[in-house]
Amino acid sequence: MTPVDPSFQMWATFALIIAALALYTLERLPMELTSLLAIASLLLLFHFFPIFGPSGENLLTPLRILEGFANPALITVLALLVVGQGLLRTGVLDRAARLVFKVSGGGAWRSVTLSLAIVLVVSAFLNNIPVVVIFIPIMQALADRLGRSSSSLMIPLSYAAILGGMTTLIGSSTNLLVASSLIELGLPEFSFFEFTVPGLVLAASGLAYVILIAPRIIPDRSSPAREIMASSGKQYISQIQVTADSKLVAQSSVGGFFPNLKDMTVRLVQRGEHAFVPPFEDLTIRRGDVMIVAATRSALMEAVKEDPGLLNPDLAEVAAGTEGTRGEAQVLAEVMISPASRMIGQNLEQIQFRRRFNAIVVGVQRRSRMIRARMTEIRLEAGDILMLQGRPETIEALRGNPDMILLEWSATDLPSPYHARRALIVFFGTVLLAATGVVPIVTAALAGAAGMIATGCLTVRQAVRAVDSTIVMMIGAALGLGLALEETGGAPYLAHALIAALKGAGPTAILSGFFLLVALLSNILNTKACAVLFTPIGVEIAFGLGMDPLPFAVAVVFAANSSFASPIGYQTNLLVMGPGNYRFVDFAIVGLPLIAIVWVAFTLFAPWYYGI
């Protein structure tokens, strides 16, 4: 290998990368600020100390350093986050989660294992990005059904897709780049299943870790909305009016409970002038019954998702798009009756709450008292908490009302089932365009994001909220740092230093060390840059050792895909960062052991398989 002359710019770039990684990991500063400092440092460094190309031009102008913010990879990720938000708001993939849950027999481990195995197999033949986009909402819904936070499943989802992409030529664009580099070097092209056998060994080793160990060490990063929904487990009083088309008609109690009312405690069944109280024995629900139930916020929200008309028949009309409310966004929020409220001592009918505030009360919570009465008959007291459903602007208008206090951060968007079919059409259209290659993935993703907004599946406000500023700043800074490392010769310099350090060692040790170097750098550079940079270096090392370059080329494929320890190396990591509510350090905690496992598996298997 031709030695690379170190330069001040190269050492300064190394220092910037180390400083940025340290700040990202320690999180002493907001991640957006760390990214901004990294970008500003790059701009200043290469303004005063430029890197000149063959024609005397500065290779790292501000335009090139800032190109990361217009990078198709970043735009693709952001657009797909909007598409995913459209699926979440319409709730279309809850059924898919129920299907996975049912097929796996309802067991948590079986459900997760089945889902991740499907992702791994499909990722071997399709681009990883649409596969992960498909499964993000499925895994979120599955996490809810298993009573776990999304953070426990999002990183495993990304890792399973990456591992699956290692097994075939088309499993990842990185694989195709290595194959193209070999052709440019005058070497034979990879066949479709050239590295499938060692790839399966690495994928199987990695998947065992992802399923058995990773969920146990991933920090719990519950989102604020989830924490609010699950906090304290406080019970709300709500009522169910049994209509003619209700699923509860003709349902009988079993052991004093009603199986169709999951996570709800029935406190009273009112039938005409007669009231039934617990224990309920052989009671069959009839049309016209009014059931008084107690449930947590999360249980009530799940009930509204599955059946908008369960708690109030009028809500079914809103979901179906009647009464001029076709497709209107709905939110669930909490308000507390203030001490000097004029509503104290009155019930909801006397207040005419719905007419006055354009919101429906779906639950009432009162501390230290068991209530067995119709919700509309409860006389309000100071400190009572009402759970409301209404349009976002209606709920926001309550903020200045002196009679009640809107609880901050309590508003949660409700699914819009009416738009489910539209969301599915937009989603599958996006995936089809991306998977078939009819248009570039970035084009398909942007068209999908626009389609979600144009069809009413998302409002502009909801779409903007889906765009994570942390991801925008981080990927922009990462691409700038990677470009600086490439143009200053830092990556070839490290490769040369490795070979010098392993001088005199056997081919197996050199191949193993080369794999580890590329794997670690793939978490700083992006995987495509690693593929382009290190394929010629690997071939040169092989020729220098008098070996077949194939094992080194395959090492680049696997190592460049091993970007498990940071969110910036691979797009699927960026995709799950927002839904999982992760921090930068979470990927290092879970990803570094996986890199070690893949590295050890390659070191043990590849020399034997290739006869080194």
Which pLDDT tens digit goes with each residue over 162-201?
Answer: 999 898 887 777 887 788 778 877 888 788 788 899 999 9
DSSP 65-122: HGGGGG-HHHHHHHHHHHHHHHHHHHTTTHHHHHHHHHHTTT-HHHHHHHHHHHHHHH
Nearest to 95 by CA among 142, 63, 42: 142
What does the mean pLDDT of the chain come to? 79
Asked if 554 and 197 count as a contact pair (C-beta separation under 8 A), the reply is no
The architecture in CATH of the region 231-415 reads 2-Layer Sandwich (3.30)
> What is the maximum span of the chain, computed from C-alpha positions, in angstroms?
94
What band does 324 get if pLDDT is binned at 50, 70 and 90?
Answer: very low
Taking the C-alpha atoms of residue 504 and residue 371, their distance in angstroms, rounded to an integer, is: 81
Nearest to 550 by CA among 127, 170, 178: 178
Taking the C-alpha atoms of residue 362 and residue 385, their distance in angstroms, rounded to an integer, is: 11
- Encoded tokens for 379: 């006389």
pLDDT tens-digit map of 136-147: 777 877 787 677
* CA angle, 443 then 444 then 450, to 5°: 90
* Predicted local distance difference test score (pLDDT) of residue 43: 92
DSSP 227-262: HHHHGGG--EEEEEE--TT-TTTT-B-BTTB-TTST
Taking the C-alpha atoms of residue 146 and residue 510, their distance in angstroms, rounded to an integer, is: 45
Backbone angles phi, psi at 384, to 5 degrees: -60, 145
- Number of other CB atoms surrounding residue 109 within 10 Å: 12
Percent residues over pLDDT 70 in the chain: 83
* Predicted local distance difference test score (pLDDT) of residue 430: 84
* Predicted local distance difference test score (pLDDT) of residue 599: 96
What band does 157 get if pLDDT is binned at 50, 70 and 90?
Answer: very high
What band does 322 get if pLDDT is binned at 50, 70 and 90?
Answer: very low
Query: What sign has the CA pseudo-torsion 569, 571, 572, 578?
Result: positive
* CA angle, 127 then 458 then 92, to 5°: 60
Could you say which DSSP state residue 371 is in?
-
* Predicted local distance difference test score (pLDDT) of residue 97: 57
Tell me what the mean pLDDT of segment 475-504 comes to.
Answer: 78
Tell me what the mean pLDDT of segment 552-578 comes to.
Answer: 87
User: CA 149 → CA 219, 417, 572, distances in Å?
Assistant: 10, 23, 19
Nearest to 133 by CA among 448, 397, 411, 375: 448
Return the amino acid letter for 63.
L
Taking the C-alpha atoms of residue 363 and residue 293, their distance in angstroms, rounded to an integer, is: 9
What band does 245 get if pLDDT is binned at 50, 70 and 90?
Answer: confident
Tell me what the mean pLDDT of segment 36-46 comes to.
Answer: 91
* Predicted local distance difference test score (pLDDT) of residue 570: 80
Tell me what the mean pLDDT of segment 333-357 comes to.
Answer: 86
Taking the C-alpha atoms of residue 489 and residue 499, their distance in angstroms, rounded to an integer, is: 16
Taking the C-alpha atoms of residue 211 and residue 104, their distance in angstroms, rounded to an integer, is: 15
* Predicted local distance difference test score (pLDDT) of residue 325: 41
Higher pLDDT, residue 225 or 383: 383
Taking the C-alpha atoms of residue 164 and residue 206, their distance in angstroms, rounded to an integer, is: 10
Tell me what the mean pLDDT of segment 443-455 comes to.
Answer: 89
What does R_g of the chain's alpha carbons equal in angstroms? 29
Model confidence at 328: pLDDT above 70: no
Nearest to 113 by CA among 76, 165, 153, 61: 153
What band does 555 get if pLDDT is binned at 50, 70 and 90?
Answer: very high
- Helical (H) or strand (E) element with 405: strand 404-406
DSSP-based three-state secondary structure for 226: helix
Q: What is the pTM of this model?
A: 0.62
Locate the domains of the chain by residue range: 72-223+491-609, 231-415
Model confidence at 368: pLDDT above 60: no
* Predicted local distance difference test score (pLDDT) of residue 554: 94
Return the amino acid letter for 179.
A
* Predicted local distance difference test score (pLDDT) of residue 155: 92
DSSP-based three-state secondary structure for 545: helix
DSSP-based three-state secondary structure for 476: helix
Model confidence at 317: pLDDT above 60: no
* Predicted local distance difference test score (pLDDT) of residue 223: 56
* Predicted local distance difference test score (pLDDT) of residue 202: 95
Taking the C-alpha atoms of residue 140 and residue 178, their distance in angstroms, rounded to an integer, is: 34
Asked if 248 and 271 count as a contact pair (C-beta separation under 8 A), the reply is no
What band does 321 get if pLDDT is binned at 50, 70 and 90?
Answer: very low
Tell me what the mean pLDDT of segment 6-17 comes to.
Answer: 84
Identify how many contiguous H helices and E strands the chain contains and give both numbers: 27, 9
Tell me what the mean pLDDT of segment 96-101 comes to.
Answer: 61
Q: List CB contacts of 254: < 8 A, sequence separation 6 or more.
A: none
Tell me what the mean pLDDT of segment 425-450 comes to.
Answer: 83
User: CA 401 → CA 334, 339, 357, 394, 397, distances in Å?
Assistant: 13, 13, 10, 12, 8
Q: Which residues of 111-122 are buried (b: 16+ CB within 10 A; e: fewer)?
A: bbbbbbebbbeb
- Encoded tokens for 485: 């490392």
Could you say which DSSP state residue 191 is in?
P
Q: Between the ranges 47-56, 230-239, 292-301, where is the mean pLDDT highest?
A: 47-56
- Helical (H) or strand (E) element with 364: strand 360-365
